Amino acid sequence: MKEKFSCTILQSEALTKYLLETSAYPREHQQLKELRHATVDRYSHLSVMNVPADEGQLLSMMLKLMNAKKTIEVGVFTGYSLLATALALPDKAKVIAIDPDREAYEVGLPFIEKAGVAHKIQFVNSDAVTAINQLLQNGEEGTFDFAFVDADKENYINYHELLLKLVRVGGMIAYDNTLWSGTVALADDDLSQEWKDQIGENRIFLRNLNTFLANDSRIDLAHLSIGDGLSLCRRLH
């Protein structure tokens, strides 16, 4: 029997709604809330590209616990995770935000400015391989505390090699969407045509990444079932 398409990896949409409405939305920063609503108004169904509020809160808590001061964001869109990051960092911290599409970032920018954290952000209008290589050439190897990757899935495995150089020993790389709506666990025959059309080849790229990370002795790994799946990789040496 074909599985029914669902954006959530929790057992029901009702449970996702409960989690967001009970714990996440009441504590969501006002500008994050407004950015989220503006993204729905502007992009409707594409607004699922924003990380959900509970994941934003996890990122925020991790950054504070790590005392992070220099981070990189690969894939910005309208900037929900970027704003959550910038809000969690101290005033003199820096986040390099990379995306070849500046238009979507400009939808979120007024909310970032209103939150008073735009000065922490350096937006780089480029594809990430070029931008990260540039940072490495500039001598910034081993200087980043945290990297958040939420962009083109086929390149995650390439970003991993570059980001392992860019983050310091003990620093963290987080990959978003690594459970891809639960489809990484499904056989081809379990997928309806509607689902196949939506997910394309990303399910295969993410499966390969998950196997690769599980076998990578250079990192500690925690694969979380939050949002659409989040893989946390801590650089060991």
Nearer to ligand SAM, 2 or 27 (CB): 27
3-state secondary structure 175-194: EECCCHHHHHHCCHHHCCHH
| Min separation Cβ 152 and ligand SAM, Å | 4
| By the rule CB under 6 A, 147 interacts with ligand SAM | no
* Alpha helical stretches, state H, the chain: 13-19, 30-43, 53-66, 80-88, 102-114, 128-137, 156-166, 193-199, 202-214
Q: What contacts 189, CB < 8 A, 6 or more positions away?
A: 2
Which residue of 31, 32, 68, 75 would you call a contact of ligand SAM, by CB under 6 A?
A: 75
Q: Exposed/middle/buried for 229, CB within 10 Å: 0-12, 13-18, 19+?
A: buried
| By the rule CB under 6 A, 195 interacts with ligand SAM | no
Which residue of 28, 145, 150, 228 would you call a contact of ligand SAM, by CB under 6 A?
A: 150
Q: What type of residue sits at position 11?
A: Q
Count of residues that interact with ligand SAM, criterion CB under 6 A: 22
- Of 46-54, 183-191, 194-202, 221-229, which segment contacts ligand SAM by CB under 6 A? 46-54
Residues found near ligand SAM in the complex (CB under 6 A): 49-51, 74-81, 98-101, 104, 127-128, 150-152, 155
